[in-house]
Structure 1
């Protein structure tokens, strides 16, 4: 990257509140930055991000392009901090322009109507069709129209030039039409009410943004740390605490950074990240995470991450990035709106032209009803409700310990018909222990374990960790392995004291033709008991075997039953373990179909086949050893991602805790989110259909239409925000 350039520059866009404005921005900005794929938008934060490097000259061009649409771009983020895009202090007018315009329009409207009423002699005469406003009232009405349309008319002009009709053009045409009819009161009322609708919509979106931020932004602003120079306790902003500092947290306080406890024991409430209410015992050497709550005693811990790199910071960052990954339903609504708006303009034209031609009615009356159709046709309620609902669903899920990387992955679980679980570390605890060590051919148990630990030292698999823990617990010092090679899903090879050793599964032993009939029978008996086998051999003989066993997660059986109750057609367990062990575990948790002895490539092929058969499948694993299978699934779900960078980065959905009950919760939450989206679409189309019918019958008014459209917008926004109230499985069911 050249000097003076910054990566991923963001702009706050004033006036961007729905998909139509996004379309306008894309058409102007995309050619400057290299195409649509370089742009991402967050409606809730009114943010546009350019994905790639940008310099000061290009930033200025982007700001000018945004201005052509009638909106305003203010740079933000890292680029601003570096001076590439300077932020000027905003005036009160700029910060509250919509409020002032709306207030001015309302006051001018009231003043104009008062003058008209005085001129007419009374209020009722002023409201009648026969009342003609005096010239001074007309001037006030016109001023009210200009004030109310301060932010609407420039965008309407842009839409007309580009032949892309939008809500701003619809409202402008309605105002112009009312003026043509001489309905100055109606024209000014439409302009004022539409500016009021924009103000209320902006307020409701700000409220949504505030509530969502409050769900996630739970890190304390300051932290106490022990000064390394004099040992005094000082308090500084959390962003100024260096990695490696000793931080002090008192009972009842939130932990400000990720770290490892160096002094004290306590219980920590990790619900803010994992969604689990149970307190977790923590002592010296235990990890603690920013945003969690120290419940019992004062502790000291060594910070291991900066404030911008904590687990909670990454969660917040993922949720924010997820807002720009639009769900299929959201994309469909935007496409529908692009067709819907010009179609409704044709309907308005038909209502103006057809009734007078075929019934002989007056043109003025039907022209007025055509204006009503233009007003009620505004698609903003339809377009804005979906992203608000999606973001509320993403934020609520994150607050409950489920990190979803975008609307597409929030929507997908609602349609799932099949789900696959890896066995080790998912259905089981992933903490196997060594049950038996059998050394043969003049090898000792200690020597066997020492060599096995040497070969497994570079593996992340739970069985490898079990062997290493067993060696440590017995005080056996690991040998040193050279020329180390891992065979994924099978085992490992290495050179110890000049000899080549292998450690691997029973199947690997058979494949390498190192097995004897006697040894085969011994292995089979151990596998019948549900244990997993790791065999070690060297150049010309078998050295021995290590049997390990894992425990099933206590919530696994209920979680599987919950998935079946939700109507999933297929629940599958896949494993690289032997047939008998896989069969026993599947039977214990209630899984009917299982596939044992699979290599990583076999797992990917099976997931691909199931995805084709059922039209989509979720894969649940640990996010590290199962990365290829997770990537092959429609939705990859990683377990126990708290503290694991790899799991958070790999999966589409990351469960911050090792709690399988979060899987049925996720599906219910996804279905609830989709139900709310459908409710919002239904409410919006119902209101619009009702007024379309009233306009066709000649009984609708502009006042009623603008009030109904404003009410529908607010209703669908707050309906979507209901998802923020979900705090657990019980609340999810009641919502």
Structure 2
């Protein structure tokens, strides 16, 4: 099985998605289709033994659209002037011709209302000049619609393009040339608005790419080169006020770096030798020499952009519902319009011309433009706004789930606490010394990335110890580690692990309990004979943790559950200080998964917040996972459904408000579009709506719905 990505010219809304699904999804060998309307991208999973890419391109061409391989597109915009501006030019030309025809008609008959109503009585036979101008306005306005309508007709798969062409032809047959030209022009305006809104959303994503400069300066020569040509390990120079072009590590110099463009942090972050820096951030007041660690295509910023683009394929339930609704909506409206046109004359002897006209009005107002474009534009606007403020949401489905959140589980270390624990006491036992304990502990933990392990290593180095890593180490998940130090087997682990080893005496147990009651985490070190000593470690609670829990409660998120592998005493102290609803301590990874499973069964919409690495199984078990402090962590970016690039806990309630604001706007759009259509259908049945008024109302609705959706670009998890 293989997957190929295409750029599809003409893919602007759910109508085209439905057409492509019907045409390509039925081909033998095509296994799965995914669409990104905003970026006009189609992903096809296929069996190369059954179908080849050329056949897929041909199938797209049969729909009136054009597909080209995504990988072969140039970064620069290579479109011709006509490809860029042809739709706008045709729309303007149609409007000018319509106005010219109307003006000529007005001058000819000397009556504004006579021209507005198309003439009225027997003089539907227009002067030749008026007729030619109206016909030209119709053809020019519908020029890009006619091929799609023809494809829909020959396949007996009605869509909004066919719906509009039928309405225009119906008006022509009835002699309503002005109305036919008006419908053609205003429908072109509606499509132009749709295209503009999609382009606006695309530009918002493209703006993320502009955060990173296109060139970097070699530290040795001062010469600049394109970032694409600079491999990892190269030393570059970044001057004050410049954006950092690539991810790297500071070699020389000190400065403060504004990371707001990527993480959303409001305060600049001090950087000195040894610190990591990221592409797209701004060097403020010092010269930095940086050794690059990633290629331009693999920087944190590049990965964020790639994930925002991929997020369009993970559609929210609301978006899926609108797409499915649109597939049955257009045929249903055509059937309703036909019934309106035919049944009253057949059953009640009503005027054929009058009811056919009313049927045409129903056709025009039924155009689903506003309905199908509002949701994807709203979703991508919300996702892009969030990404600009350091919150990476990997799809509309997770954006929507955040707004429906009912219960929240949180890891303790690094989430509610700062994630930088410090060693408070080293307690030697059985005649051992502090340095012996630290040396053995640091040796066993030399390769671990766990926060407690890093605390032990920092304390050992501060004491002047730098032991070699232990040999044949074996990690016991959720318990500890074993390994050989100077040829002897030692173990290191939790209070629970010490108890399982059977080496815990009553005195040691009492000492460990006293430390845990004070909120400390106890790490024990031992050998085959006895416990060699205890190390007491504590992590500081984040100052905003209690406020966070209160904010989440006010948003209706309850229960909030703290999960930790730490001892019960420490967990209880943290739980009381933060105000969480419940806590579970001394958990193994599989225990966390079990707790999450229970919460999902009870509350359905459940999030798990952690570091995205150690908590990956629990995140996968939740409705969606949120990774804290994902900046620079490839694993966190990959495993989480939502990644908070900084450690700012206040982004959690803001994320929920942002999501709910998005859902509210989408619901407003759908309700407004459907209500307007229902109103005009009723007016059409009552004979109180004209063709040009119906299409004007539909175009206005499209404009309002798009404007409402684009408001989300100014919204974000930092100010919602």
TM class by shorter-chain length? over 0.9
Select the residue among 186, 191, 195 that pairs with 1:202: 195
Q: Distance in 2 between matches of 1:207 and 1:480?
A: 55
1:220 offset after TM fit, Å? 1.7
What stretches of structure 2 of length at least 5 have no aligned partner? none
In the alignment, the residues of structure 1 paired with residue 323 and residue 77 of structure 2 have an alpha-carbon distance, to the nearest angstrom, of: 34
Alignment of 1:211-610 (within 5 A): 211-215=204-208, 217-226=210-219, 231-357=220-346, 360-610=349-599
Q: Tell me if the contact between 1:574 and 1:596 (Cα under 8 Å) persists in the aligned partners.
A: yes
Decide which of 36, 41, 44 is 1:47's aligned counterpart.
41
Q: Distance in 2 between matches of 1:398 and 1:464?
A: 32
Deviation track 1:441-461 (CA, whole Å, cap 9, x = no partner) reads: 232222221111121123221
The answer to whether the aligner puts 1:145 opposite 2:148 as a matched pair is: no
From 110, 119, 123, the equivalent of 1:128 is 119
RMSD: 2.3
With over 3 angstroms needed to count, the CA separation of the structure-2 counterparts of 1:88 and 1:606, relative to structure 1, is closer
Q: CA deviation at 1:557?
A: 1.1
Task: After TM superposition, list the pairs within 5 Å mapping 1:114-125 onto structure 2.
Answer: 116-117=105-106, 120=109, 123-125=112-114
Q: 1:416 is paired with a residue of what secondary structure?
A: coil
Using the TM superposition, give the Cα deviation of residue 250 of structure 1 relative to its aligned residue in structure 2, in angstroms. 1.8
Per-residue CA deviation, residues 424-482 of structure 1 (Å, 9 max, x unaligned), is: 11111111111111222232222221111121123221111111111111112325422
TM-superposed deviation, 1:486: 0.6
Decide which of 10, 15, 22 is 1:20's aligned counterpart: 15
Deviations 1:80-102 (A, max 9, x none): 579xxxx9965433443323433
Provide the secondary structure at the position in 2 that maps to 1:386.
helix
Secondary structure of 1:314's aligned partner:
helix
Q: Secondary structure at the match of 2:313?
A: coil
Quote the Cα distance in structure 1 between the aligned partners of 2:510 and 2:369. 71
Work out the CA distance in 2 between the residues paired with 1:52 and 1:366.
49
Aligned-partner Cα distance in 2 for 1:183–1:648? 59
- Listed one character per residue, the Cα deviations across residues 565-620 of structure 1 (whole Å, up to 9, x for unaligned) are 11112111011111110000111111131111111110000000111011121000
Residues 494-547 of structure 1: CA distance to partner in whole angstroms, max 9, x if unpaired?
122332221111111222322122211121111111111111221122211111
Q: Deviations over 1:128-152 (max 9, x none)?
A: 2123214564454334333222221
Is the Cα–Cα contact under 8 Å of residues 275 and 728 in structure 1 kept in the other structure?
no
CA contact (8 A) 1:8 1:54 kept: no
Contact 2:29/2:47, CA 8 A, preserved across alignment:
no
Q: Distance in 2 between matches of 1:80 and 1:206?
A: 17
**d(CA) in 2 for partners of 1:632, 1:443:** 44
Whole-Å separation in 2 of the counterparts to 1:358 and 1:53: 54
1:717 aligns with 2:706: yes
> Could you tell me how far 1:123 is from its partner in structure 2?
4.8
8 Å contact from structure 1 (residues 222, 237) kept in 2:
yes
> Per-residue deviation at 1:216?
5.3
Could you give the per-residue CA deviations for residues 192-218 of structure 1, whole angstroms, max 9, x where no partner exists? 221222123212322232234325531
Paired residue for 2:676? Answer: 687
Change (3 A) 1:722 1:15: same
Q: Is the 1:219–1:290 Cα contact (8 Å) retained in structure 2?
A: yes
Number of aligned pairs? 715
Q: TM-score, normalised by structure 2?
A: 0.95
Deviation string 1:47-68 (CA, Å, 9 cap, x unpaired) is 223357989x934333321121
When structure 1 is superposed on structure 2, of 390-399 and 357-366 the one drifting more is 357-366
Correspondence for 1:163? 156
Mapping 1:70-89, distance limit 5 Å? 70-77=64-71, 79-80=72-73
- The 2-side partners of 1:64 and 1:342 are apart by 26
Partners of 1:312 and 1:244 in 2: CA distance: 18
Of stretches 244-253 and 572-581 in structure 1, the one that deviates more from structure 2 is: 244-253
The answer to whether the 8 Å contact 1:493/1:503 transfers is yes
Q: Secondary structure at the match of 1:524?
A: helix
Question: In structure 1, how many angstroms separate the alpha carbons of the residues matched to 2:489 and 2:382?
Answer: 54
Distance 1:408-1:27 versus aligned 2 partners, 3 A rule: same
Say which of 669, 694, 702 aligns to 2:691. 702
After TM superposition, give the deviation of residue 343 of structure 1 in Å: 2.1
Secondary structure of 2:661 counterpart: helix
Which of 235-244 and 13-22 deviates more? 235-244
* Preserved contact between residue 70 and residue 151 of structure 1 (Cα < 8 Å): no
CA distance in 2, matches of 1:139, 1:691: 31
Unmatched runs of 5 consecutive residues or more in structure 1: 2-6
Q: CA deviation at 1:277?
A: 0.7
Question: Would the aligned equivalents of 1:502 and 1:537 in 2 still touch at CA under 8 Å?
Answer: yes
1:605-644 residue pairs with structure 2 within 5 A?
Answer: 605-644=594-633
> Residues 325, 221 of structure 1: CA spacing in aligned structure 2 closer, same or farther, 3 A cutoff?
same
Partner SS for 2:212: coil
Looking at structure 1, the residues matched to 649 and 363 of structure 2 have their Cα atoms a distance apart, in angstroms, of 51
- The CA deviation at 1:125 is 3.6
Partners of 1:112 and 1:549 in 2: CA distance: 82
| TM-score of the two chains, using structure 1 as the length reference | 0.93
8 Å CA contact 2:201–2:380 kept in 1: the answer is no
Task: Quickly say closer, same or farther: Cα 1:81–1:681, change in 2 above 3 A.
Answer: closer
Segment drifting more, 374-383 vs 293-302? 293-302
> How far apart, in 2, do the equivalents of 1:212 and 1:95 lie?
18
**SS at 2:353 equivalent:** helix
1:4 corresponds to which residue? none
Which deviates more, 109-118 or 238-247?
109-118
Is 1:69 the equivalent of 2:63?
Answer: yes
